[in-house]
Amino acid sequence: MASLEAEMLEFIRRGLDHHALSCPLAPRAILLNPGNYELFGWDELWGIPVLADDRVAPKRFRIDCDGSAFGIEAEISDAIAVEQPLVIPVGPGLPREDEPTAG
């Protein structure tokens, strides 16, 4: 059975290959859970910095780049939490009692 380190290297390599095919931007860093970061002791892989990040689950990784949506959930929840008055546009409807009707 392959070691966890070998499995992670394979997963990260596949992730970087997928990223290269799907994103025009270069990765800034590979993010690992702090426990995995300490366990493996990697500072960089294939010329890309490896950083510890508490938001990454154990045995997982993230590729950080300017096109990354990582963390966007927090930005969206902040944006929709702003209270704004609800404006409901009113279109043509039934005439009021005091308005003349055509016909």
Domain count along the chain: 1
Compute the distance between CA of residue 26 and CA of residue 46 in angstroms, rounded to an integer: 12
Identify the CA nearest to 48 among candidates 68, 26, 21.
Answer: 26
d(CA 94, CA 8) in angstroms, rounded, equals 66
**83 occurs within a structural domain:** no
Domain-embedded: residue 27: yes
Tell me, yes or no, whether 95 lies in a domain. no
Residue 29 lies in a domain: yes
SS3 (DSSP) at 85: coil
* pLDDT value for 35: 94
**Does 80 reside within a domain?**
no
Q: How many CB atoms lie within 10 A of CB 80?
A: 9
Residue with more model confidence, 23 or 89: 23
Q: Does 81 reside within a domain?
A: no
pTM of structure: 0.64
Above 70 in pLDDT, residue 31? yes
For residue range 5-20, list pLDDT tens digits in order.
Answer: 999 999 999 999 998 8
96 within some domain = no
d(CA 63, CA 78): 24
Report the candidate in 8, 1, 4 with the shortest Cα–Cα distance to residue 60.
Answer: 8
Structural domain harbouring 33: 4-69
